[in-house]
Structure 1
């Protein structure tokens, strides 16, 4: 039986999942986004052209693949249509023949973005530093059972009633904040302006997935990273959805028993926005990682904080997501370093931790315990075999494997689509 693959980030996002999914789709039939929204930024480089995707699955650049946006995604329909039009303008074929959207997707509206901005500004003492895309408030309405879903656009009679219920909640909040209430017609017009463009993509996607032939392979594409999971991440500095691999079943509507979970991680670690970061380098090392790695957020344009590889967090991610094997990215960013470091534990209050405690006040004060390895001072980019890598680069990879007790099956050696070292191909053949 064909193994399906779930791809998740093992850090705080920005690990390079887009390239990995696109590469895997060469031997797959379907790719599905199962959570998040247009706060995701997946970059794929083909023939020196960079394509930046937010809502669209990374398979969309391969015309013979089916791309699906699952029910677990918070859908900004206007942003999606703009993304589709941008791809069409460069001759990428996108339409209902190769892109399907779950009828159950909750819709992000302008009022969600306004609410997020309002509450972010109120959190002076503990700003989350969100992307202000309205994703968190959209998920709040979904859980509060007042969200407008994609399927609701099909029935204008019941749509008005649902908008009225939604505005009862949001206008109460706006009144308390001293803002003008929103008129029902304003929201109705927003929905009607997009409905005819987006409805052709609507499908009962769970049913389509359920009817796939056994020889068809699905790639479940996660957004953000495990350390940003709403339940298991560095709360409250997290995203608003579950980013761990098991959520793929919930966010898609299909459970796959025969599944390979591929975790993606950088050879170092980065973070956008506020929150704990034990191995962060607020020094020349951090500046070098930032500059060489071009660490600017794809969606937000914000600078990413940079630090040494954290094996403690990686092991925690492996446990939480039941990672089967690992894809390592951006190894080449470390090519110029004399010494590279790996965090193997934390110290706090005369105690050693082999995991990240949940208490925020402790997280902020952890002191990393490092293991130093010699750098390789040679080029690793564009290599196609493991033996082609410098000896010390291979030793660095081997040490990470030893610490994590997991095989690194893929090594990305540049942003380019086909620059990939495959050390273990059993799950993709």
Structure 2
């Protein structure tokens, strides 16, 4: 179906579109794609990729969503690695019958470490924002990325060098001491963290530099994105964004360095969702669509639902500099769903959103303001949702899903490379 291409799976919405379930299906033996590894190319422990397969359910955070099929995971240098959460996730996977999950894990030594210190700082800032929260998960992703801009930040390689790690953690703690003074947010002492991270280094394979070519020599790679393009740090609706490049430029660059071809598979639901604050033009609180695995988060906020929005999906595709195929999930949940043909805005009727230059935050802020007050022009959603999206987005729908289970996914049409 995909030729000899490696696959890059990216969410075209605000997240929660079914990336993990799609990756799980791609990695399943019955799909026959001979996947050698799942490569995580952005985000960190804030991911929540729900996979249901053969009676087993797991919410993947840092492990690749091919783990239930025994496919190894490579956490690339673009990941923000949280070892304590990784250990907890490994225990959960063991209970599901995965033998020695940590043996399937490979981590680039250059990846940044997200620590409990970052998490405490993150939650402290969100508390201070009150009703103006950005929708953070409270794990410390933004703090990890921001601190590393101007400081010698802790990295995975430092877990092999306890003295270096201790020095960096002490400096991190001192940096955040004024912010956390008097805060209720607590974390383990530095010495305890060093002990934990040293044990992590002994339990997983930490790779020196880029080892992508070695994995590609063994078979197909599936790059699993986190979050959604509409939350991208440079292309998303600022300031309700993540400190992570969600669109696939980093995955493309990794493949380019080894001279390998890639196929971009964009993922969407048959309707739109958003977890947390920010503009959501087609939101409709009256949509009674059950949600098994997402609820209200203390920092992230409520799980919101809206009608299908090809205008935003087209914008996300443009932000990706194009995609090759679509996976459409949740086709079993179409009752009462409409589709947006455009918006009524302060600038008049809009049916196409311009994607600004990369890193043009001023454009993103103006787009956020425009969409915050936009009224969608809705029409009835055609019964053939995949065909409708192909017509509107000019991209073939190659995978469809009529339920949450791996068995609910099917190939729709052969994809062209």
2:56–2:96 Cα contact (<8 Å) kept = no
Cα 1:273–1:96 shift into 2, 3 Å: closer
**1:73-123: CA deviation from partner (whole Å, max 9, x where unpaired):** 111101100110111123212345422111122112121111111111111
Equivalent residue number for residue 89 of structure 2: 83
2:255–2:261 Cα contact (<8 Å) kept = no
Could you tell me how far apart the structure 2 residues matched to 1:205 and 1:6 are?
Answer: 23
**1:236-260: CA deviation from partner (whole Å, max 9, x where unpaired):** 1112211101122568995554110
Could you tell me how far apart the structure 1 residues matched to 2:383 and 2:266 are?
Answer: 20
Cα 1:15–1:398 shift into 2, 3 Å: same
1:14 to 6, 13, 16: 16
Could you tell me how far apart the structure 2 residues matched to 1:21 and 1:46 are?
Answer: 12
Cα 1:180–1:261 shift into 2, 3 Å: closer
Report which of the two structures shows the higher radius of gyration computed on alpha carbons.
1
Could you tell me how far apart the structure 2 residues matched to 1:402 and 1:126 are?
Answer: 38
Could you tell me how far apart the structure 2 residues matched to 1:61 and 1:427 are?
Answer: 28
Equivalent residue number for residue 323 of structure 2: 323
For residues 6-405 of structure 1, the aligned pairs below 5 Å read 6-26=8-28, 27=33, 28-63=35-70, 65-95=71-101, 97-124=103-130, 126-174=132-180, 178=182, 186-204=189-207, 206-212=209-215, 214=217, 216-249=219-252, 257-282=260-285, 284=286, 286=287, 288-289=288-289, 292-294=290-292, 296-297=294-295, 303-321=302-320, 322-334=322-334, 336-337=335-336, 340-349=337-346, 351-353=348-350, 354-355=352-353, 358=364, 359=366, 360-373=368-381, 393-394=383-384, 396-405=385-394
Could you tell me how far apart the structure 2 residues matched to 1:159 and 1:304 are?
Answer: 38
1:295–1:304 Cα contact (<8 Å) kept = no
Cα 1:131–1:146 shift into 2, 3 Å: same
TM-score (norm: length of structure 1): 0.85
Equivalent residue number for residue 358 of structure 2: none
Cα 1:425–1:24 shift into 2, 3 Å: farther
Alpha-carbon offset, residue 213 of structure 1: 5.2
Cα 1:254–1:30 shift into 2, 3 Å: farther
Cα 1:29–1:250 shift into 2, 3 Å: same
2:398–2:415 Cα contact (<8 Å) kept = no
Equivalent residue number for residue 382 of structure 1: none
Could you tell me how far apart the structure 2 residues matched to 1:417 and 1:151 are?
Answer: 36
SS at match of 2:235: coil
Equivalent residue number for residue 387 of structure 1: none
TM-score (norm: length of structure 2): 0.87
**1:328-355: CA deviation from partner (whole Å, max 9, x where unpaired):** 0001111x44xx4211212212512211
Could you tell me how far apart the structure 2 residues matched to 1:181 and 1:127 are?
Answer: 17
Cα 1:293–1:331 shift into 2, 3 Å: farther
**Runs (5+) with no aligned partner, structure 2:** 355-362
2:124–2:180 Cα contact (<8 Å) kept = no
**1:125-177: CA deviation from partner (whole Å, max 9, x where unpaired):** 521131111111111122223321111121223233323332332224345xx
Equivalent residue number for residue 359 of structure 2: none
Alpha-carbon offset, residue 35 of structure 1: 1.1
**1:276-330: CA deviation from partner (whole Å, max 9, x where unpaired):** 0000013x3x2x12xx344624987964111100001100111111211100000
**1:373-412: CA deviation from partner (whole Å, max 9, x where unpaired):** 4xxxxxxxxxxxxxxxxxx532x32122111111111101
Could you tell me how far apart the structure 1 residues matched to 2:192 and 2:145 are?
Answer: 22
**1:21-44: CA deviation from partner (whole Å, max 9, x where unpaired):** 011113121111111112111111
Please tell me the root mean square deviation across aligned C-alpha atoms, in Å: 2.7
